[in-house]
Amino acid sequence: MMKKFYILSTLLLAGAAHGLAQEKTDRDYLRSGNKLYNDSLFIKAEVDYRKALELNPKSTDAMFNLANALLMQQKAQEAMEQYESVSKIEKDKEKLAQIYHNMGVILQSGKQYPQCIEAYKESLRNNPKDDETRYNLALAQKLLKDQQQDQQNQDQQQQQQEQKEDKQDQNKDQQEQNQKDQQQNQQQQQQNKNEMSKENAQQLLNAVMQDEKNVQDKVKKQLQIKGKKLEKDW
C-alpha cells in the first residue's frame, strides 16, 4: 500500500516582508514546489525543489519532497537515493517514519522483501502508532514467505527434473551398451558361422578328395587285376 505523501513545508516568520525585487530563498522555492506538487505538476515541482537544495543542500524538507516528486514520475531509483540521503540527517522521528515507509514502498514494488521489511520496521520504530505501515509490514512478511515457498517449490521441481534427466541419461547409456553388446554378439555369431562354413567346406572338400582317391584306387586295382588276366591268357 502506497503511503499518502506529506509535503513538508517551512513556515514563514511573522512579519517577514518580501519585495518584488528580492531574490528568492530556498523556502520560496520549497513553497512554490509544494504548490506545483499539489497541482500534480511533478516535473516543475522537481525543478523548484532542486533550486531549493542548491541554496540549502541540507534542507531535509526539500530532499524529502524532491524524493516524492521523483517517485511520482516513476523514477524509483532516484527517489530511493534521495530518501537514503535525507534519512541520514533528519532528526524528527515522525518525518523519519514517513521516509522509511516510502523506502519500504519502493523496495516492496521491486519484490525486495527482506530489505522492505527492515524499512517498515525502522518506520515503526520512529512511529509505532502508524497502522498503515504496520499493515504494509504484515503484507511484506506474507509476500516474503510466499516468495520463499515458491522458490523452494522451484528448487524441488528443478531437482526432480535433474534426477529425471540423469535417469534418462543412464537408461540411454544402458540402451547404447545393450545395443553394442547385441552388435558384438551378432558379429561373433556371424564370425562363428563363417568359420563353421569354412570348416564345413574344408571337410566337404576333404570328403570329395577322399572319395576321388578311393575311386582312383579302385580303378587302379581293377586295372591291375585285368592285366594279370591278360598275362595268363597269353
The b-or-e profile of 23-51 (16+ CB within 10 A means b, else e) is eebbbbbbbbbbebbeeeebeebbbbbeb
Tell me the per-residue pLDDT of 21-42, one tens digit each, with 9 for 90 and over. 478 999 999 999 999 999 999 9
Range of the domain at 84: 26-149
Q: Looking at residue 44, which CATH number applies to its domain?
A: 1.25.40.10
Report residue 102 as a C-alpha cell.
516510502
Tell me the per-residue pLDDT of 114-168, one tens digit each, with 9 for 90 and over. 999 999 999 999 999 999 999 999 999 999 999 999 998 999 898 889 888 888 8
Q: Helix %, strand %, coil % for the chain, to 5?
A: 80, 0, 20
* Residue 222 in this model has a pLDDT that exceeds 90: no
Domain-terminating residue out of 149, 178, 206: 149
Same domain, 40 and 89: yes
Same domain, 88 and 200: no
Q: Is residue 174 part of a domain?
A: no
How many CB atoms are closer than 10 A to CB 163? 10
Shortest CA distance to 90 belongs to which of 102, 99, 80, 101? 99
